[in-house]
Amino acid sequence: MIETRGLTRRFGERTVVDDVSFDVPAGMLTGFVGGNGAGKTTTMRMIMGLLGLSAGEVLWQGRPIAAADRRRFGYMPEERGLYPKQRILDQLVYLGELSGLPAARARASATESLERFGLADRSGDRVEKLSLGNQQRVQIIAALLNQPQALILDEPFSGLDPTAVDSMVDLLREETGRGVPVLFSSHQLDLVERLCDRLVVLRAGEVVAQGGVEELRARGPERLRVVTDRDAGWIRDIAGVHVLDVDGAEALVELADQDERAADAVRRAILTAGLDRGEVRELATVRTPLSEIYREVTA
Amino acid sequence: MNDQTETRAAERPWLLVARREVVTRLTDKSFLIGTLITLVLVVGFIGWTIWSEDRTERVTVAATAADAATAQLLEREVPEVDDGLEVELVEVASDAAGVAALEDEDADVLLRATDDGWTLVGRKEVPGDLTAAAESIIGDAALTANAERAGTSPAELRQGGAVDTVLLEGDAERQDFAQGMGFLLAFLFYFAALGFGYTLSGSVVEEKANRIVEIITTKIPVRQLLIGKIAGNTLLALGQTALIVAVGLVGISFTEYSSFLSGISAGIGWFAVFFLVGFLFVACWWAVAGALASRAEDLQTTAAPLTFVMMGVFFGAFLFEGTVQTVASYVPPFSIVLMPIRVLNGDAAVGEPVAAIAILLAAMAATVVLAERIYRRALLQTQGRVTLKQAWAAAD
C-alpha cells in the first residue's frame, strides 16, 4: 500500500499541493481526478521522488519510502514519449537495465511484452514510426518491464481509442490481480467510474473526497425517480422531498433527510400519495453519476 | 516475484547511460559521414602538401640570341639553386618577338639585358621563385666577372660580410611548425567542444522534452545520468579528435616536416591531457545549457553564452601574447588550449602544465557539483526556458 501523509508542495509563494493524505491500497485501482492545475501531476511526481516535498511524507508498506522501493515502481509520466529516434526493443532493454535487470532478462521480458501487444514485428522500428496508440503501448510495456510492485500512471488513457482503452484496462486489472496498488489520474470520469475501486478527488491542491466509488455515492442525499400514469406535479406537496425535476408523468426528487427511518417514511408517503391519484409505475433509487459527485465536491 | 536480481539497483548506471550515448552516436549516419569527411579533408590536405613539395615547376624563358648566354646560364644553374624549378629556353628573334611570345603564351618570361643589368618581363607576374634564383645566379656571375676584372676574387670581396644566425632553441622553421600545430590543436578543441557540446545539450533537451528523463530519474540518481552523458560524449569527442590527430600525424611523417615530430610529442601529450580534463569541464556546462532549455529551439539562447566562451578560448589561442598569454594559460577554460600551446612552443617550464592542470581539475570538480545542482533542478521544469538564477534558487 502507498500512503501519502500531509503531502505539501510549495513553488515559491504558491502552494500547489496542500496537506494531501490518501491511500492507494494493494490490489486496487485508485483513480485520481481533479481539474487542470489541481495538483495531480505534482502529487504523483512527489510520490515518485522526482520533486522534493515541502512537508509531509510518502509511506510504502507502512514505512517511509526509499529510492530502492521506487526503483521497482512502474511510472508513466504525463505527455509521455520515449526516445523518438531509438529502436523500440533497444530502448526497452536500456530502461530495463537501468532498473537493474540484467540485459538478457530485460530483452526477454521486453520481447515477451511486445509479442503480447502484437508489436513483435515492430521491435526494430524507431518509436517515432509508431501510431500514438502503439507508442502508448510501448510506454506501458516500459512501465511494466520490471514486474513493478506499484504503478503510478499519469493520464494513461489520454489519446487512446476505445480498443486500446480496453486492452489497457485488462492489463491494469491483471496488475491489481497480482496485488499491485495502481494509482492513475484521468479526466475521463466515465472511465474512472467504470474502472476504479477507489477514488481520490483533488481540488486546488486539496483532497476534497476519497473512498470507494459506492461509498462516495452514499455520501450524498438519496435520489428517487418516480413514474406515474399522469402528471406527477403532486409530488411537490410531499414533505421531506426536494424536487429536482418534474417532466409530465416523471419526477426526480431528492430526500431531504438522510436518516434511514425518515427516508423510509418519505418513500412510503410518496407511494401512498401516488396510489391515491392513480398508478405508480416506478419508484427507484437513482445512482448518482460520478460526474455529478465530482461536480459537487469540486464546486 | 521478489527475487534478488529484480530488487538490486543497476550497478554503475552511469556506464549504461554512457554506453547508450556512444552507441547512439556511432550508429548515427550523419555523425559517421561527418567524421569521414573530416578525415578525407585531413588526408587530402596532407596529400596536397606532399604533392606540391615534390612537384617541379617548369618556366619557359625567352631570350634573343644576344642574351642567350645568360639564359643558358639560368637553364643550367636554376635547378641547382631551387630543386622545384626548371628553366626551358626559347630563342626569339628580337625583344618585340619576345613580347609577342609572352602574349601568345609561348613563353612565361622574357629575359632582357639593360644598361646596368637584366630585366625579367612577365605577363602578369614573374614566378617569385625564378626571380630569387635568377638574382642569385646572375648576381654571382656578375660578381665573379667584376672581381676578375679588378684582379681579385668573389671570396675576397665578401670577406667579413657574412651574417649567420644561430638559435639557442630549435630553429625558425621548427618554431613555425610548432606554432602551426598549436593553432591546429586549438582549432580541434574548438571544433570538438562546440560539436560535441551541442550534441550533449541537444540530447539533454531531447530527454527533457520527451519526459523520458522522468522515467530515467525514478530509476537512477540524477548525478549518474549527468555523469554518464558527460562520460559518453567526452569519450566520443576524444576518440574522434584522436583519430583526426593520428591520421594527421601519420600523414605529416610522410612530409618534410617529419623530423619535427619528435620535438612536439611532449606538447601533443599535454594537449591530450588538457583536452580530456578540459572537455569534461565544458561538457558540464553544455549539460546545464541543455537542462535550462525546454525545447530544441530554446537551446540557441541557453547555449549562446557558452558558444561565446568557446570562441573566446579559440581566439585567445591566436591573440594572447606575452604576459597575458602566460597568465591566461593558467585560467580555465583558456588554459585548456593555451598551456599546451606554450608547451609546444617551448615557452613553459616543466612544472607549469602540472600546475595548470591542477587548477583545471579543481575548477572541473567545482563545476560538476554546481552543474549537478542546476541540472537536477532545471530538469523537471518543462515550461519554457529556465534562467540559471531560477534553477539555482529552486527547491528540489
Query: What are the tens digits of pLDDT across the range A7-57?
Result: 999 887 889 999 999 999 999 999 999 888 889 999 999 999 888 899 999
- Beta strands A2-11; A206-212: pairing state: unpaired
The answer to whether residues A33 and A73 belong to one domain is: yes
Looking at the partner chain, which of B10, B210, B218 has a beta carbon nearest the beta carbon of A100?
B10
Q: Indicate whether A126 and A238 sit together in one domain.
A: no
Q: What is the reported pLDDT for A80?
A: 64
pLDDT at B85 over 80: yes
Q: Cβ B13–A98 below 8 Å, yes or no?
A: yes
Q: Is the confidence at residue A260, as pLDDT, over 50?
A: yes
The confidence score (pLDDT) of residue A182 equals 95
Residues from chain B contacting residue A101 (CB–CB below 8 Å): 5-6
The pair phi, psi for residue A133, each rounded to 5°, is -60, -40
ipTM: 0.80
* Contact state of B395 with A79 under an 8 Å Cβ cutoff: no
The answer on A83 and A106 residing in a single domain is: yes
pLDDT, position A25: 94
Q: What's the confidence (pLDDT) of residue A51?
A: 86
Q: Is the model's pLDDT at B6 over the cut of 50?
A: no
Among A176, A195, A217, residue at a domain's last position: A217
In a domain, A297, yes or no: no
A68 and A153 in a single domain? The answer is yes
Q: Assess if residue A298 is contained within a domain.
A: no
Assess whether pLDDT exceeds 90 at residue B17.
yes
Please check whether residues A132 and A227 belong to one and the same domain.
no
Identify the domain boundary among A217, A238, A256.
A217
Contacts of B214 in chain A (CB under 8 A): 45, 48, 50, 75, 77
Counting the structural domains of chain A, the total is: 2
Q: What is the CATH number of the domain that holds A124?
A: 3.40.50.300
Q: Does residue B381 belong to the interface with chain A, where contact is any CB pair within 8 Å?
A: no
How far is the C-alpha of B112 from the C-alpha of B128, rounded, in Å?
A: 17
Task: Please check the confidence at residue B130 and state whether its pLDDT lies above 90.
Answer: no
- A229 found inside a domain: yes
- Quote the domain boundaries for residue A178: 2-217
CATH code (residue A228): 3.30.70.250
- With contacts defined as CB-CB under 8 Å, which chain A residues touch B215? 75-77, 95, 142-143
**Each residue's pLDDT tens digit, A169-184:** 888 999 999 999 999 9
Q: Is pLDDT larger for residue A23 or for residue A237?
A: A23
Of A217, A252, A275, the residue at which a domain comes to its end is A217
Mean pLDDT across the stretch A201-222?
83
Q: Has residue A141 been placed in a domain?
A: yes
What number is the average pLDDT over the span B77-81?
A: 82
Of A280, A163, A179, residue with least CA distance to A232: A280
Q: In which band, very low, low, confident or very high, does the pLDDT at B1 lie, cut at 50, 70 and 90?
A: very low
B113 and A CB contact within 8 Å: no
pLDDT at A140 over 60: yes
Verify that A209 and A224 share a domain, yes or no. no
Q: Is B387 left (phi over 0), alpha (psi -120 to 50) or beta?
A: beta
Nearest CA in chain A to B212: A82
Lowest mean pLDDT segment, chosen from A57-66, A190-199, A222-231, B167-176: B167-176
Instruction: Indicate whether A39 and A181 sit together in one domain.
Output: yes
CA distance A171 to A193: 17
- Comparing A38-47, A215-224, A247-256, which segment has the lowest mean pLDDT? A215-224
- A73 and A207 housed in the same domain: yes
pLDDT reading at B2 higher than 60:
no
Q: Is residue A22 part of a domain?
A: yes
| Category of B234 on φ-ψ map: left (φ > 0), alpha (ψ -120 to 50) or beta | alpha
pLDDT for A23? 94
Strand, helix or coil for residue A79: coil
**pLDDT interval class at A167 (50, 70, 90):** confident
Residues A115, A89 contacting (CB under 8 angstroms): no
Q: Kindly state whether residues A186 and A199 are assigned to the same domain.
A: yes
Do the domain assignments include residue A241?
yes
* pLDDT tens profile B42-60: 889 888 877 877 777 888 8
Q: Domains (ranges, CATH) in chain B?
A: 11-46+171-393 (no CATH), 58-153 (3.40.190.10)
Q: Has residue A294 been placed in a domain?
A: no
pLDDT at A118 over 70: yes
Interface membership of B10 toward A (CB under 8 Å):
yes
In a domain, A299, yes or no: no
Least Cα separation, residue A253 to chain B (angstroms): 47
Instruction: Give yes or no for residue B170 having a pLDDT over 70.
Output: no
* A128 and A77 in a common domain: yes
Contact A45 B1 (CB under 8 A): no
CB contact under 8 A, B218 and A72: no
pLDDT of the residue at B116? 82
A82·B212 Cβ contact <8 A:
yes
